[in-house]
Every structure is written in C-alpha cells, then in structure tokens.
Structure 1
C-alpha cells in the first residue's frame, strides 16, 4: 500500500463524552481541525450541548454527532450497544479517545470488530478511572497510547500495564505564523489594563478553575506588594464563562478585595488575540496543580516571554535547566512570589529566557510536526489491520 492509498482509507472517529473544555478537549479539537483541513474525514461523537459540541460546530469540515446517552454505571450494556451501533453506522476504522474510562464500554463494543483500531491520548501518568487490576486487560486492546512528553511516557511505563512499543510521544504543536513576536503588538492591551511601558505585567491565561491556581497567583502577588522598586500589574486572563467556575471566580474577586489589590489586579477575558495578550505580558505564570502545564506556557515562550510553572509532570521539559523559565512548588504562593521576584531582579535573565524559549519551542513544538506524527500513527494502524486481514484471507 502506498502512503497516499493508506491515507485515503483513514476514517477516524473521536469520542469525547465530556462536559469540560479543558486542555485535553482543546488539544483534541485542535488535532481534529488540522486533520479535517488536510482532507482527512473526521467524525466526532460528543455530548449534545457540551463545550466540545459548541466548539466543533465552528468547524464545518468535522462531522459532528451529538450524543445524549451517558453511561449509568460501570458496566452499562445499553451504552455499549449504543457505541457499537454508532461506530458501525459511521464506518469508522479508527476510534480515538482521551478518557480511558470509556474503555469499560469500548472494549466490549469492539469485541467483534478486531479490524477497528483503538487509540488513547493520555495527558497524565495515571488514569484513576480504571483500577490497576483491570487496566492491563483494557489497555491491551489499544493499538497505541499517545502521550505529550517523555516524562509522561516514563511514568506510564513504570506502571507496566502496556507494551513499551505502544506508547508514543507526540509533543503539543503551535502555529508559529500566528505566534510570532514580530507580528504582535501588546501595547494597546497593556494600556487597557492600565499598564504603561515602565510597568511589569505578570499574567496567567487559562480556565478560571481551582486546579489552575489563580488563587495562588493572587496570594503571591500580595506578597510582592512590599517591594516598591517596580511598578507591577497582575493580570488574570480567563476563558469564556462557559468553562469557568462561578463560585471560584467569586472567591478570586473576594481574595483581591481582602488584599486591597483592586488597583493592581486585572481580570480580563480571552478573545481571538491570544498572541497579543502574551506579547502584553512580561512574565507568564501557571501556578496550578494540573499535571500538565499545557499550551499556555508554550504560547508564552513562543512570544519570547519567560515562564514560571508549577513543578508538575512535563514542566521540566518546558523550562529546561532554568533556560526558559523557573519551576515552583504547586500551590505554594511563597515559592511563586520568590521566583517572580528573582525574575524582577534580573531583567537581562528575563529577556534571555524569553528569546531562548522561542528558539526551543520552534524546534520542538511545531504543529506541522504534531500533525505528521499523529497521521503516521493512524496510518500504522491501518497498515497493521489490513495486513492482518490479508493473513486471515490467505
């Protein structure tokens, strides 16, 4: 089979049964958009009315199938039958998931469909939804597990629940024609935040949810108030209210009032100008407990901004040996305050980290590379399944 003929046979189906719009959902959607733009017929099964559903409807090349059926219990045979029927109906030959608890249903659903490949994207070392005793049984059905970093891969393999050759690293990918410092101007945004050219803007971007640690960021900012050598502004850029926790947002505002920081902490919404937002920062912070720092840190580095990240799985691969940023203990406001102060006191180090960081992400996190490696995994699945069918029919 030629490469072109293999690609023509691809019929991937993503299954995202999720009410969230977090990093995993956003990465999956980005991958689907890239593949559908390249002419690969992408299908998506998602919960009707979910953030994933809303996002997918903006991309007409993706064939969206809203789904109302949720599993009622650990082994819900009606859900298994519904999945099997749907997969057969769309004619998928690859099923891709990013929530391994779906294996409880997909493995029996695909029991009589050995010709359909099964792929999981893993964003953390462990998935608590499956007990260790059963994990190896379900994971054996996977053709591949895709992870975001060598750190996650190493952690997965220490569990000894899946073959080493099945676990593949595909880094996150950025569009560097969009994230280009030469094309962005953050000055207008800075003025909107009340920051002049002499103000150091320290900011974070992400969902307004506890696991991203905006409360830790505010507490660290309060600790920096005693230093009067710099004009500072702290900016929290949140995503659309659909994915924000209302109670948490209220608590963040209350925290700002408690510290009397209304004049130096700004809450802002995220539009379509993310490169300009990153360009408006001087330092990017991600202080939460999420196990993977995500795209935000890479986007900041692409815009030549140094990063301060929680020391969680995968973060060390982003900051290097303090070449592109600094690591802090997750949810430790004092440690975060100390590391930000370090960068405030060393402006030349700040600039060098940003410049070096852009070169690093250019080399390792290009979306074209992610696309080619992802498609390569799909093509390997097709080749393997067709080879198996040929052996059976001989």
Structure 2
C-alpha cells in the first residue's frame, strides 16, 4: 500500500503519456482501485468507463469512489445487479450511462457434448461433488467442507473435490481448510489444485456446489451451468437471477452448510432431478450468459460513450 502511494504520481504520468501518444478514444478500467487509469483517461480527454466487479468496497472509500467517478467517468459497467445497487444506486448516477454486463461463459467451449471428462476425477469413487475457485476466504470453502461432513453422515460412496490454486498470499486460509479437513476426518475430500481445463473437471462432476460468501458475477457457476451440471449455490452475486430455486438448481443462504447439505442430498438421491436441473441450467446459460451477448453489450456501450466524449 505504501508503494502504491509513493509511485502514484510517476505511474499516473506514465499512463497519461501512453494514452496521449496512442490517441486513445476509450479507456476501460476494471476494478474499483484502478484510479490511475481513470485519471489518465480523463486527463487525455478520452471516454472513460469504470467496470465495477465487486461489492466489497464500503464506507469512506466507497464515498470517495462516487465523488471521483461522477466527475471523471462517462459511464459504468457493472458485473450484475447487486454491484450496480452497491455503487450506482444514487440519483446522481441517473445522468450517467450504466449497463449491467455479466461475466460471460463461452457456451460452445463449455459444452458437455464436446468435452471429455477429467480422468483424475473419473477415477474417484462414487458421486463426485465439485467446487471450483481460487482458494481464498471469499469462496467460503470451509462451508463446503462442513457440508461434506454432514453428507458423509447420511450417505456413502461420495467424493468431494476442491479445484483451484493455493496462493502463497492465502497460506493461512489454506492451512485453516486443511486443518478443518483433518479434524473432521474427511478422507474423501480432495484438494485437486489448479486445473488448466475447467470444462473437463466440470464434465466429471455429478453435482456442482458454490459455497461463496461474496461474488459479483460468479464465473464458476456460469461455467457449471453451461456444462449442464446440477447446481447448489449460496445466494451471492446475481446467482438467484439465473438459477431459479427448484427450477434449474438450488439457491441457499450464505454461510449455511446445513442448507447446502440438504439440497445436495436431494440431488444425490435423484438422478433424474440432476439431469433436469443440468439441462435447464445450460439453456439459461446459452440464453443469457454466453460470451457473444457480452461482446454485443460492450460494443453498444462503447458506441454510447463515444457519442458523449
């Protein structure tokens, strides 16, 4: 953080000089902290778009964001309805361009009819209950582990798989998860690590579970939908907008392993329900979350910003 402030002015000047040299028409910055790019774009007279993809910034910083954003930006892209409400639910934003664009999934690549199953997962015993994500507290993997412990007391022949890298910056959290697994004697829970082919991992999953405590537009859920997996998800981001509870999946309260276990149990017991939920989930992904939809929305938003700048 100290380095951020020390190098703020030199880096801002570098950004400004580059944008000016390249005669940039639009500056599109992703994330609430990308202030240097926003300022650089404003200084060189470009159209400025701030792409907001979280709901974690609160209090004083959120207030400062709004003051800067309203003065410097032509428009805002939000990664979902909850993000829009968090940052732009203010009458002052009514004069600004605001568009919701979900994180996209390539439904032609994440297609269960075109993807081979991950062989490592295929070799695991029984039904495979999978979750995917970088190992960090926002993913709420402790609730996935606690859910697994509950299900182990009710069913046999299950394997639980956590797919995602363990970064050094999250070492304490990773150790906490491993300690929890050991304490609960979860011999059938596997930390798979990083995967270079998430689609094949999802193809091998019988049930997909998202236990996150904070998301904006959860890519892993959209990808599981595209792969026609039956899904149980905590109610984060815009999940409930695309997974209608009991229609094409289950949505449960955040930080509730018992609720995750209850709904996962219903899928464990009913193969037909797994198939129906999966098929319906893929239909929704194709209709609302495909990458081509994302491209069209971005192009339209850029055209609107160009008219204003």
Which bin holds the TM-score, normalised by the shorter protein?
0.7 to 0.9
- The residue that corresponds to 1:225 in the other structure is 152
1:273 to partner: Cα distance: 2.0
Aligned residue pairs, count = 307
1:260 matches 2:185: yes
- The residue that corresponds to 1:290 in the other structure is 214
- TM-score relative to the length of structure 1: 0.70
Whether contact under 8 Å (1:224, 1:341) holds in the other structure is: yes
1:353 to partner: Cα distance: 0.6
- The residue that corresponds to 2:23 in the other structure is 91
1:178 matches 2:109: yes
Unaligned stretches of 5+ in structure 1? 1-17, 19-68, 386-394
1:253 to partner: Cα distance: 1.7
Please list, as runs of the form range in 1=range in 2, the aligned pairs for 1:347-386 lying within 5 A after superposition: 347-385=271-309
Provide the aligned C-alpha RMSD in A. Answer: 2.6
Larger radius of gyration: 1
1:359 to partner: Cα distance: 0.8
1:211 matches 2:144: no
Whether contact under 8 Å (1:278, 1:300) holds in the other structure is: yes
**Change in CA separation of 1:214 and 1:370 when aligned onto 2, cut-off 3 Å:** same
Rounded to whole Å, the distance in 2 between the matches of 1:369 and 1:316 is 19
- The residue that corresponds to 1:318 in the other structure is 242
1:279 matches 2:194: no
Whether contact under 8 Å (2:62, 2:87) holds in the other structure is: no
1:118 matches 2:48: yes
Whether contact under 8 Å (1:140, 1:162) holds in the other structure is: no
- The residue that corresponds to 1:245 in the other structure is 170
- Secondary structure of 2:163's counterpart equals strand
Rounded to whole Å, the distance in 2 between the matches of 1:108 and 1:191 is 50
Q: Using CA pairs under 8 Å that are at least 6 residues apart, name the structure with larger relative contact order, 1 or 2.
A: 2
Whether contact under 8 Å (1:189, 1:280) holds in the other structure is: no
- The residue that corresponds to 1:152 in the other structure is 83
- Secondary structure of 1:163's counterpart equals helix
Rounded to whole Å, the distance in 2 between the matches of 1:107 and 1:183 is 41
Rounded to whole Å, the distance in 1 between the matches of 2:38 and 2:226 is 40
Whether contact under 8 Å (2:117, 2:201) holds in the other structure is: yes
Whether contact under 8 Å (2:50, 2:76) holds in the other structure is: yes
- The residue that corresponds to 1:10 in the other structure is none
Please list, as runs of the form range in 1=range in 2, the aligned pairs for 1:316-355 lying within 5 A after superposition: 316-355=240-279
Greater displacement, 354-363 / 142-151: 142-151
- The residue that corresponds to 1:25 in the other structure is none
Rounded to whole Å, the distance in 1 between the matches of 2:121 and 2:43 is 58
Unaligned stretches of 5+ in structure 2? none
1:363 to partner: Cα distance: 0.7
**Change in CA separation of 1:111 and 1:345 when aligned onto 2, cut-off 3 Å:** closer
Q: Deviations over 1:163-218 (max 9, x none)?
A: 265111223222222111112232623333x22xxx11111001011110111111
